[in-house]
Amino acid sequence: MSKSRIPNIVLHGEVDEGFRRPGRPKKSFREGLRNDLKAFQLWPKYIAQKKFDRLVEDRKEWRKTINSAVQKIQEQTKIDTSN
């Protein structure tokens, strides 16, 4: 294929205009939620029950879930430090 043909130019050409920010793309809400659930060991529960999609749609439910997990962990650490 000759170098002057359009398919070759498109395939091997470089973009001269525009820019892309350095680093990785920003996280989506769904990725943040998944990371929070993994951090509080809730991920297997939501995947097994197939409730993850419902939880993603409802931010209030997500906050309630995470806050209750945080409270449980804080109570456990208080009990552990007092013993």
Instruction: Provide the pLDDT for residue 18.
Output: 66
Listed by start position, the domains of the chain span: 27-82
CA 57 to chain centre: 14
Mean pLDDT by 10 residues, the chain (83 residues): 76 68 80 82 76 77 84 82 68
Instruction: Provide the pLDDT for residue 1.
Output: 64
Distance from C-alpha of 45 to C-alpha of 69, rounded to nearest angstrom: 13
Instruction: Provide the pLDDT for residue 33.
Output: 79
Give the Cβ contact number of residue 55 at 10 Å.
Answer: 19
pTM of the complete model: 0.49
